[in-house]
Amino acid sequence: MRSLIEIHASLLDPGLIAVVRTKRRDQVIPLTEALLSGGIHAIEITMTTPGAIEAIREASQIFGNQALIGVGTVLDAATANAAMDAGAEFVVSPITKAEIAQAARARQRPVLLGAVTPTEAQTAYEAGADYIKLFPADGLRPSYIKALLAPLPHLKIVPTGGVDLENLRSFIDAGCSAVGLGSSLVSAEILATNDWAALKERAQAMVRARGPR
């Protein structure tokens, strides 16, 4: 298992987190292979994926340090602990709940808690979040990030939802530490057709769009 410092470094380079919501557990392994081939190694397997805990366990065992496997859509500490027991190296929640942060920090794992407003973001930070998952980011512009960070520069913002090829770099330039890539990367069409070659190409395009730090 990587150290906390190593996990943080892996999350931030290149700073692209694939948010994986599959309808079938058996898609997780080929999907992860495609993302790795495309240059994205931080993979958040959401709890809405059937058999998510076992999918995390299997992916962690197969890919080892090639991939940084995390868990998403975590709503309580028990789920966070079960996922970390299975090998999850980072924990993501769409909400702010102190018990989730406490569970992750007790196990030396980075944690992302959800927020939208300045008050929510600061509350998440005070609850123990290493990163603020700005969610849903659909409709928010990079200018919002700049405005948020002006009085709260200590926050590490990770917008999720609404980040795509066209605006990815703008979010990074606005001061985001990383971005979460959901359907703009792992699309419904790709999942419906198991088109892993297309996913690899899309991942490569996202890495190119990210550009240098």
Residues annotated as catalytic (active site), given as ranges: 44, 133
159: phi then psi, degrees, rounded to nearest 5:
-70, 140
CA angle 121, 122, 124 (to 5 degrees): 65
Using CA atoms, how far residue 131 sits from 81, 121, 177, 193, 204, in Å, is 19, 9, 8, 34, 25
Q: Burial, 153: exposed, middle or buried (Cβ in 10 Å; 0-12, 13-18, 19+)?
A: exposed
Tokens matching residue 82? 């079960």
Report in angstroms the alpha-carbon separations of 92 from 28, 47, 131, 135.
Answer: 18, 10, 9, 11
What proportions of the chain, in percent to the nearest 5, are helix, strand and coil? 45, 15, 40
Q: At what angle do helices 52-63 and 28-37 cross, to 10 degrees?
A: 40
Nearest in space to 8 (alpha carbons), one of 115, 142, 112: 112
CB atoms near residue 169 (< 10 Å) = 15
